[in-house]
Structure 1
Amino acid sequence: MSLLRVLGRPMLASMFVTGGLDSWRRPQNVAPIAEPVVQPVTERVPVLPDRTEDAVRLSGAVQLVGGLLLATGRLSRPAALAIAVTLVPTTLAAHRFWEEEDPDQKTQQRIHFLKNLSMLGGLLIAADDTGSAPSLLWRSRHAAHDLRRDAHLVRHSVRAGAGPAALAGRVRATLSR
């Protein structure tokens, strides 16, 4: 694993470990802010908890566990993707700069919104990072290519061997008469 991955993953994960721990331990602190986003999401996704505090606690747990996995390099691709899924509603709930009327608050919320958008980009890159190992898609494409090549070689060798074998069979049949 490269030095950039060893250093970068924990740096990216640090915000989610601390924020996730806080949301998991004290969901009541952010539940009022999360309410406008959580309720429409929980109505459309029946597996999510109905209570806003429970949904915030679940999101915090996903961010905490995902952050720890990302930081340690264990299952970092699915962990980054799971964190990314929780970051979208978190950002939409907490940083609604378009609703702010105070220019200073609007600027601050826009900065936080763009910061979260940047972290989302980093998470998507981390979710796609194979760590210099070939991805499953690459492996499957090359396995299919290798199978096609092998089938082509078998077909040519069968054709090449069939002609002399047929001739030998005819000569043998003629000689046995």
Structure 2
Amino acid sequence: MDVLVLIGRILFALLFLISGFGHLAQRAPMAQYAQSKGVPAPKLAVPASGVLLLAGALSVLLGVWADLGALLLFVFLVPTAFLMHNFWKETDAQAKQTEMIQFNKDIALAGAALMLFAFFAHTGGDLGLTLTGPLFSL
């Protein structure tokens, strides 16, 4: 089971690692897009969210307080879904559908991150193939 959980952690974290690097490497265009969506202080929010993504993903991937990492990803995903993918504001049918898909993806990933948080916090030090145990205990 330890290997399956490790593979799952790798696959889950990969998306957030790529996205986090993108937030840092493409700050200007991402900040411009965030500004168009009404995100407050987008020039600060984009790199800050990139760091949040990288910290959460590396935590889950390496198993260093993986419960905290999953919680960080959850904290990123929920507001992002509502701020960046507010499909209810779109008037163009194709744009509305695209934003709805992205909104649903973020909400589903937030649910997965919350489940990972609970799994790591509940399992405790018996996770196997991690560098530390969880920070929280459920």
TM class by shorter chain equals: 0.7 to 0.9
Between 98-107 and 87-96, report the one with greater CA deviation. 87-96
Q: CA deviation at 1:129?
A: 1.3
Instruction: Show the counterpart of 1:133.
Output: 124
RMSD in angstroms over aligned alpha carbons?
Answer: 2.1
Q: Is the 8 A contact 2:81 2:106 kept in 1?
A: yes
Q: Which deviations, in whole Å up to 9, do the C-alpha atoms of 1:119-151 show, x marking residues without a partner?
A: 0001001111137337734xxxxxxxxxxxxxx
Instruction: Show the counterpart of 2:72.
Output: 82
- Is 1:66 the counterpart of 2:56? The answer is yes
One-letter code aligned to 2:23? S
Instruction: Show the counterpart of 1:5.
Output: 5
Q: Which has the greater radius of gyration?
A: 1
Gaps of 5+ in 1: 40-50, 138-177
Instruction: Show the counterpart of 1:106.
Output: 96
Distance in 1 between residues matched to 2:38 and 2:67, nearest whole Å: 26
TM-score (norm: length of structure 2)? 0.79
- Is 1:24 the counterpart of 2:14? The answer is no
One-letter code aligned to 1:132? T
Q: Is the 8 A contact 1:81 1:127 kept in 2?
A: yes
Instruction: Show the counterpart of 2:131.
Output: none
Distance in 2 between residues matched to 1:90 and 1:136, nearest whole Å: 27
Q: Is the 8 A contact 2:59 2:68 kept in 1?
A: no
Distance in 2 between residues matched to 1:77 and 1:119, nearest whole Å: 15
Q: Which deviations, in whole Å up to 9, do the C-alpha atoms of 1:35-77 show, x marking residues without a partner?
A: 35532xxxxxxxxxxx421221011011012112211222110
Q: Which deviations, in whole Å up to 9, do the C-alpha atoms of 1:80-129 show, x marking residues without a partner?
A: 11121122232223212111111122111111110111100010011111
Question: Hey, which of these two has a bigger chunk of helix by percent?
Answer: 1
Report the secondary structure of 1:136's partner residue: coil
How many residue pairs end up in the alignment? 126
Q: Is the 8 A contact 2:124 2:137 kept in 1?
A: no
TM-score (norm: length of structure 1)? 0.63
Distance in 1 between residues matched to 2:16 and 2:63, nearest whole Å: 15
Report which structure shows greater RCO (CA 8 Å, sep ≥6): 2
Instruction: Show the counterpart of 2:39.
Output: 38
Distance in 2 between residues matched to 1:84 and 1:132, nearest whole Å: 19
One-letter code aligned to 1:83? L
